[in-house]
């Protein structure tokens, strides 16, 4: 029993050091993630100043064009369009209209043409005006990723999708498409809204998480220090008594 009593004071110390070490490690990781996002933001700003890439028959590499300005000339194929659901604009629920553009006999590129409001009758889709001839579009190339949480297990209900990825679209329609989506910002008389929000890289969020982890580490150490001093004082009083 005496041996156990002598060892017991080390348990809180070890627990405190482990908690502090974990907090410092996670805080440092969040700082690193914030720096990575800051570098990505700087890269995005630099790419926005570069000359746009022309999208044609040659298949482009997604990493090479991601976040780059691109330009394409071709014809829209409305028969293969997809409506990405649950997109809100100024408090109104609607869709993003994704439509392939034929840029050559053997190549398409997906274009996010913009936002359209949904109809009161959810079983019907809003009509979208589509030019019948060749058009030119420009915008930012984006590589959409699968969301970790989908709103439904049925992510594809006909032409209404909860989320879109290039691979998912390829499997659904079998078209030879470029490995990215053009987020169109060029003007076109089609009634669609193209008020894109600036890309949020979440830099400040990572730094906020880092501050919380560092604060947790500091709190654990301070709490242990106060408890240790208090215990020493109590032991000293017991000896005097």
Q: What is the pLDDT of residues 14-69, one digit of tens each?
A: 888 898 899 999 999 999 988 888 887 787 777 677 788 999 999 999 988 988 99
Residues 147-169 pLDDT 10s: 544 444 457 788 999 999 999 99
> Residue 136 in contact with residue 71, Cβ under 8 Å?
yes
Residue 2 has pLDDT above 60, yes or no: no
> What is the C-alpha separation between 28 and 207, in angstroms, rounded?
10
Q: How many CB atoms lie within 10 A of CB 78?
A: 14
Q: Judge if 161 and 217 occupy the same domain.
A: no
49 falls within a domain: no
Is residue 58 assigned to a domain?
no
Task: Assess contact for 81 and 159: CB atoms under 8 A.
Answer: yes
- What is the four-CA torsion angle of 137, 138, 143, 145, rounded to 10 degrees? -70
Identify whether residues 207 and 174 lie together within a single domain: no
Query: CA angle 182-186-188, nearest 5°?
Result: 110
Whether residues 26 and 133 share a domain: the answer is no
Report the pLDDT value the prediction gives residue 54, as an integer from 0 to 100: 95
23 in a structural domain: yes
> 162 CB contacts (<8 Å, ≥6 apart)?
84, 85, 86, 150, 151, 152, 154, 155, 156
| Domain identity same for 84 and 170 | yes
Q: Taking a C-beta distance cutoff of 8 angstroms, is the pair 177, 166 a contact?
A: yes
Domain that residue 155 falls in: 68-184
**Number of domains the chain is built from:** 2
82-99 pLDDT, tens digit per residue, is 999 999 999 999 999 999
Q: Is 177 in the same domain as 207? A: no
Can you tell me the distance from the alpha carbon of 151 to that of 70, in angstroms, rounded to the nearest whole number?
31
On whether both 30 and 87 belong to a single domain, the answer is no
In terms of domains, do 139 and 93 share one?
yes
* Alpha-carbon 54 to chain mean position: 26
Token representation of residue 19: 């908690």
Q: Residues near 58 by Cβ (< 8 Å), separated by ≥ 6? A: 107
Query: What region, left, alpha or beta, does residue 191 occupy, with left being phi > 0 and alpha being psi -120 to 50 degrees?
Result: left
Same domain, 126 and 77: yes
Residue 72 lies in a domain: yes
My answer on whether 108 and 169 are in the same domain is yes
């Amino acid at each position: 029993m005496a041996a156990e009593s002598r060892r017991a004071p080390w348990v809180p110390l070890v627990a405190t050091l482990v908690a502090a070490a974990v907090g410092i490690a996670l805080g440092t990781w969040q700082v690193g993630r914030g720096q990575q996002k800051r570098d990505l933001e700087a890269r995005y700003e630099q790419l926005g100043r570069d000359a746009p890439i022309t999208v044609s028959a040659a298949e482009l590499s997604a990493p090479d064009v991601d976040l780059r300005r691109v330009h394409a000339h071709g014809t829209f194929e409305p028969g293969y369009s997809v409506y990405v659901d649950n997109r809100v604009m100024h408090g109104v629920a609607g869709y993003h209209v994704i439509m392939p553009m034929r840029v050559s006999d053997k190549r398409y590129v997906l274009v996010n043409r913009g936002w359209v409001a949904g109809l009161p009758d959810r079983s019907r889709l809003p009509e979208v005006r589509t030019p019948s001839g060749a058009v030119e579009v420009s915008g930012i190339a984006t590589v959409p990723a699968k969301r970790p949480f989908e709103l439904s297990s049925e992510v594809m209900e006909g032409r209404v999708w909860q989320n879109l990825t290039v691979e998912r679209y390829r499997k659904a329609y079998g078209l030879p498409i470029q490995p990215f989506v053009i987020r169109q910002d060029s003007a076109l008389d089609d009634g669609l809204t193209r008020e894109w929000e600036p890309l949020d890289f979440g830099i400040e969020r990572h730094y906020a998480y880092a501050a919380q982890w560092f604060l947790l580490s500091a709190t654990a150490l301070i709490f242990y220090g106060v408890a240790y001093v208090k215990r020493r004082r109590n032991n000293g009083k017991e000896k005097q008594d």
